[in-house]
Amino acid sequence: MAKHFTATLLFAAAIVIAGCKSEYRLNESMLEHIQSTDVIVVVDQHEINAQISRSNVAMFAGGGLIPALIDVASRTHRPKTPRSWLPRFATA
Protein backbone atom coordinates (compact mmCIF):
# COMPACT_ATOMS: atom_id res chain seq x y z
CA MET A 1 0.00 0.00 0.00
CA ALA A 2 2.77 2.38 1.00
CA LYS A 3 4.65 1.50 -2.19
CA HIS A 4 1.58 2.32 -4.30
CA PHE A 5 1.15 5.60 -2.47
CA THR A 6 4.81 6.56 -3.07
CA ALA A 7 4.55 5.62 -6.75
CA THR A 8 1.39 7.70 -7.15
CA LEU A 9 3.06 10.63 -5.38
CA LEU A 10 6.13 10.41 -7.63
CA PHE A 11 3.95 10.23 -10.75
CA ALA A 12 1.97 13.27 -9.60
CA ALA A 13 5.22 15.15 -8.90
CA ALA A 14 6.51 14.26 -12.39
CA ILE A 15 3.32 15.63 -13.96
CA VAL A 16 3.61 18.89 -12.00
CA ILE A 17 7.30 19.31 -12.91
CA ALA A 18 6.69 18.57 -16.62
CA GLY A 19 3.90 21.16 -16.74
CA CYS A 20 6.02 23.99 -15.26
CA LYS A 21 7.36 26.77 -17.43
CA SER A 22 9.76 28.99 -15.55
CA GLU A 23 10.67 32.57 -16.28
CA TYR A 24 13.63 34.22 -14.71
CA ARG A 25 13.21 37.83 -13.82
CA LEU A 26 15.71 40.53 -13.09
CA ASN A 27 15.70 42.55 -9.93
CA GLU A 28 16.65 46.16 -9.24
CA SER A 29 20.07 45.43 -7.80
CA MET A 30 20.99 43.39 -10.88
CA LEU A 31 19.85 46.16 -13.22
CA GLU A 32 22.29 48.59 -11.62
CA HIS A 33 25.14 46.28 -12.53
CA ILE A 34 24.23 45.81 -16.19
CA GLN A 35 26.66 48.24 -17.74
CA SER A 36 27.16 46.43 -21.04
CA THR A 37 25.44 43.70 -23.03
CA ASP A 38 26.60 41.68 -26.03
CA VAL A 39 23.77 40.32 -28.15
CA ILE A 40 24.04 37.07 -30.10
CA VAL A 41 21.36 36.42 -32.73
CA VAL A 42 21.14 32.74 -33.60
CA VAL A 43 19.48 31.37 -36.75
CA ASP A 44 20.42 27.83 -37.65
CA GLN A 45 17.88 27.37 -40.44
CA HIS A 46 18.72 27.80 -44.11
CA GLU A 47 15.19 27.60 -45.38
CA ILE A 48 11.69 28.06 -44.06
CA ASN A 49 10.45 24.80 -42.58
CA ALA A 50 6.98 23.37 -42.62
CA GLN A 51 5.23 22.90 -39.30
CA ILE A 52 3.92 19.41 -38.70
CA SER A 53 0.73 19.03 -36.69
CA ARG A 54 2.03 17.73 -33.41
CA SER A 55 0.51 15.24 -31.07
CA ASN A 56 -0.32 17.01 -27.84
CA VAL A 57 -1.18 14.05 -25.66
CA ALA A 58 1.40 15.07 -23.03
CA MET A 59 0.05 18.61 -22.85
CA PHE A 60 -3.57 17.52 -22.39
CA ALA A 61 -2.59 14.77 -19.97
CA GLY A 62 -0.74 17.33 -17.87
CA GLY A 63 2.72 15.98 -18.74
CA GLY A 64 4.54 12.92 -17.51
CA LEU A 65 6.63 10.16 -19.02
CA ILE A 66 3.92 7.94 -20.51
CA PRO A 67 2.02 10.73 -22.36
CA ALA A 68 5.41 12.02 -23.59
CA LEU A 69 6.27 8.59 -24.98
CA ILE A 70 2.89 8.46 -26.75
CA ASP A 71 3.71 11.85 -28.33
CA VAL A 72 7.10 10.64 -29.52
CA ALA A 73 5.59 7.51 -31.06
CA SER A 74 2.85 9.52 -32.72
CA ARG A 75 5.29 12.05 -34.18
CA THR A 76 7.62 9.33 -35.44
CA HIS A 77 4.85 7.67 -37.45
CA ARG A 78 3.26 10.83 -38.78
CA PRO A 79 3.91 11.46 -42.49
CA LYS A 80 6.39 14.23 -43.12
CA THR A 81 5.58 17.22 -45.32
CA PRO A 82 7.17 16.63 -48.73
CA ARG A 83 10.54 18.38 -48.61
CA SER A 84 10.41 18.77 -52.38
CA TRP A 85 7.84 21.52 -51.92
CA LEU A 86 10.17 23.72 -49.95
CA PRO A 87 13.53 24.48 -51.64
CA ARG A 88 11.97 27.47 -53.34
CA PHE A 89 11.79 29.09 -49.93
CA ALA A 90 15.46 29.06 -49.03
CA THR A 91 16.29 32.00 -46.80
CA ALA A 92 20.12 31.98 -46.95
Partner 1 sequence: MDYNYPATLKASIESGVGKVDWLHTQQFALEREVTKERFQEIYQQSSSCVLLTVKVSYEFMPDFTGISVKGGVNMWPRSDQLRELSGTAKRKDSVSMNNRIYYAALEVKKKLDLDGVKGKAAIDVLAEDNAAGVRKALNEATEELTSLIVEDLNKSAGRRST
Number of Cβ within a 10 Å radius of residue 67 = 19
Decide whether 11 or 89 has the Cβ nearer to partner 1.
Answer: 89
79 binds partner 1 (CB under 8 A): no
Q: Does 56 bind partner 1 (CB under 8 A)?
A: no
Nearest to 74 by CA among 51, 50, 57: 57
Query: How far is the C-alpha of 37 from the C-alpha of 44, rounded, in Å?
Result: 22
Complex with partner 1: residue 5 or 85, whichever CB lies closer:
85
Q: Residues 1, 4, 30, 60: which binds partner 1 (CB under 8 A)? A: 30
